[in-house]
A and B are shown apart, each in its own frame.
Chain A
Amino acid sequence: MTSLTGAGGVVLQQGRQLPAPPWRGIAAGAAWLALSGATYALPEAGDFPYTGALAAASLALGLILPVAAVVSGKLGRIGLSLAHWTPWLAVLALAFLAWELATAKLELLPMPFFPPPQAILEVFLEDWPKLGGSVLASLKLLAGGYLIGAAAGFTLGVAVGWSRAVGYWVHPVLRFVGPLPATAWLPLAFFVFPSSWSASTFLVALATGFPVTVLTWSGVAGVNKAYFDVARTLGASPLFLVTRVAIPAALPHVFVGLFMGLGGSFAVLVVAEMLGVKSGLGWYLQWAQGWAAYANMYAALIVMALMCSSLITLLFRVRDRVLSWQKGLVQW
């Protein structure tokens, strides 16, 4: 019986080798065409200069997707990735359509607070110099604070984990001050530091430093004692024990701290930019809200999400590279 179904399966598989029509690509294309048609043809409440551009862009996507689905086998990695994301692209088009209908076309949502997609497209196309400048300003502030905080936290964590004397003095301070959210220091930081930029750098460094310190410390303290015995019998100096044994063994923990620190630093960055620094995405958000430019606000949120997720992805890449020994990727 089982052999019969097995034989049937083979026949079925052979039948499938005929090129099937790319239903998914066609469905996704149709969804984008529907969006294009609705955007172009339906009357809208208000004056949106980029309605035509949105309709044209979705028309283009609607035409490209089915064609790309047919030739995706010849596109290599791009084709594979396209095939993977096609269902998402279809759902995205439907979401845009619902959004378009609920805002510009049918006015189901109150207007200034919920702009249609073409209004956000307008922000990206018209206000990109300011948005781009804000991203750069945010990245600059974040990079400075994060690197300082990560370096300081790592050094302190190794010192606390390694030296009993340092641990004695630093541990109580860490326990008392560490859990305090970095944003609580904001009022103090802004009058203690000479500029709002240095104050914000300090706050970002603080938010990064605490988790990195704690995780590095626990990583170093938790290193298998036998590793040290091995190195000591082989003639290792104390410096060798720290740099070649304790630190590499603690690195997986350190990376957990770096991830937590990065998340914390985003939060502090946005708050600091909203309250003190006159640049960056946080400031842009605040500014857009102040002028009731809600489309700008949504655009800035999208850019911020892209920035944060790219940075997290970048850190993941670095980790995978540094800790490549940890994964079973290298196979015989």
Chain B
Amino acid sequence: MVAALLEQAASRRDPETGGSRLAVEAVSHAFTIRGAALPVLDRVSLEVEPGGFVALLGPSGCGKSTLLRLVAGLEAPDAGRIAIAGERVQGPAPSRLLVFQDPTLYPWRTVRGNVSLGLEAQGIGRERAMRADAALRLVGLDGFADAYPHQLSGGMAQRVALARALVNEPRLLLLDEPLGKLDALTRLAMQAEILRLWQEKQFTALLVTHDVEEALVLAQRVIVLGDRPAAIRAELPVRLPYPRHRDDAEIVRLRREILGILGQPT
């Protein structure tokens, strides 16, 4: 019933800007290391409704990032099916973008050059600089367009990485621990930033993190993955309005529950 309502809402949305539905169906994947198969994902199934925000939570090295790479189309899964807006993923596409833990900006390009990378790669020449500057304004970095990456702080560089993704108007944004390397204060600011961008742009968001609070403050639903090979251990809806406060009783309760699932002392 709820799904059907959401579907209706999604179909009413502007098809150019709304988020896409993501469906991961029984996906398994293994790495081959020195001839031995190392399973990292074990029949993982999950769904993210159009415009939804889901967080994947799990211990380090459990295969969360691998799942994002598969969804981005950078690698093909060994088994199972990944579909976006009903279409099977076959290779990368600028409508679903990955933001990495490292900003990985190109040091030889200016900030504007980095942001317009996608437009350039897709052969979009018109209004390229204008769109790049608009994206920089969106993340609060107008005025830094002509700077080089080595002149930016870690938080600023990650904002540029966000702008580089958002300038392409993605329908699905995959966030692979994007705040993992930032200091605590910058982290809080960037969490609010991501939330604002999501509410404004209405893309579907899938966030990988190992920070329980971050997942609870941002996501509408938190999926807890177990150790390698990763399988889904629990799914917890977070029914709280935004902006959320990390001292909220419900957040504290969910945090305790998740840490219990992950086998951590609370």
**Residues of A in contact with B (beta carbons under 8 Å apart):** 224, 226-227, 229-237, 240, 244-245, 248-249, 251, 323, 325-326, 328, 330, 332
Contact = CB atoms under 8 A, between A and B. Distances in A.
B72 interface: yes
Among all A-B residue pairs, the 5 with the closest Cβ atoms: A234-B118, A236-B121, A235-B94, A233-B92, A226-B104
* Max count, chain A CB within 10 A of own CB: residue among B73, B121, B122, B168: B121
Interface of B: 72-74, 92-94, 96-98, 100, 102, 104, 106-109, 117-118, 120-122, 147-148, 150-151, 164, 168
Contacts of A226: 100, 102, 104
Contact of A232 (B92, B108, B122, B151): B92
B168 A325 contact: no
A244 B102 contact: no
B104 A230 contact: yes
A323 B108 CA distance: 8
A235 B148 contact: no
Given A233-B92, A330-B148, A227 B104 contact: yes
A231 B108 contact: no
Contacts of A237: 121
Given A233-B94, A237-B121, A240-B121, A248 B151 contact: no
Nearest to A251: B108
Contacts of A330: 147-148, 151
Given A325-B148, A332-B151, A234 B122 contact: yes
B108 A325 contact: yes
15 contacts: A230-B164, A232-B74, A233-B72, A233-B92, A233-B93, A234-B117, A234-B122, A244-B121, A248-B108, A249-B106, A249-B108, A325-B150, A326-B108, A328-B151, A332-B147
B162 to A, nearest CB: 13
A233 B109 CA distance: 18
Contacts of A231: 117, 121
B92 A248 contact: no
A283 B213 CA distance: 77
A240 B120 CA distance: 9
B107 A230 contact: no
Contacts of B100: 226, 229-230
A237 B102 CA distance: 23
Contacts of B108: 248-249, 251, 323, 325-326
* Max count, chain B CB within 10 A of own CB: residue among A236, A245, A248, A251: A236
B120 A244 contact: yes
Nearest to B75: A229
A235 B168 CA distance: 10
A261 B55 CA distance: 53
A325 B111 CA distance: 11
* Max count, chain B CB within 10 A of own CB: residue among A227, A232, A240, A245: A232
Nearest to A230: B104
Contacts of B104: 224, 226-227, 229-230
* Max count, chain B CB within 10 A of own CB: residue among A233, A236, A245: A233
Given A226-B102, A325-B148, A234 B107 contact: no
Contacts of A234: 94, 97, 117-118, 121-122, 164, 168
Nearest to B104: A226
Nearest to A226: B104
Nearest to B118: A234
Nearest to B97: A233
Contacts of B107: 325-326
B206 to A, nearest CB: 14
Given A235-B94, A249-B108, A230 B117 contact: yes
A249 B106 CA distance: 8
* Max count, chain B CB within 10 A of own CB: residue among A229, A240, A251, A332: A229
A227 B109 CA distance: 12
Given A231-B121, A326-B107, 15 more contacts: A226-B104, A232-B92, A233-B72, A234-B164, A234-B168, A235-B118, A235-B122, A236-B121, A237-B121, A248-B109, A251-B108, A325-B108, A325-B148, A326-B108, A330-B151
Nearest to B110: A325
Contacts of B73: 233
Contact of B98 (A233, A248, A251): A233
A249 B118 CA distance: 17
B121 A235 contact: yes
A224 B149 CA distance: 16
Nearest to A323: B108
A328 B97 CA distance: 31
Contacts of B102: 226
* Max count, chain A CB within 10 A of own CB: residue among B73, B96, B118, B164: B118
A230 to B, nearest CB: 5
Given A227-B106, A249-B108, A235 B150 contact: no
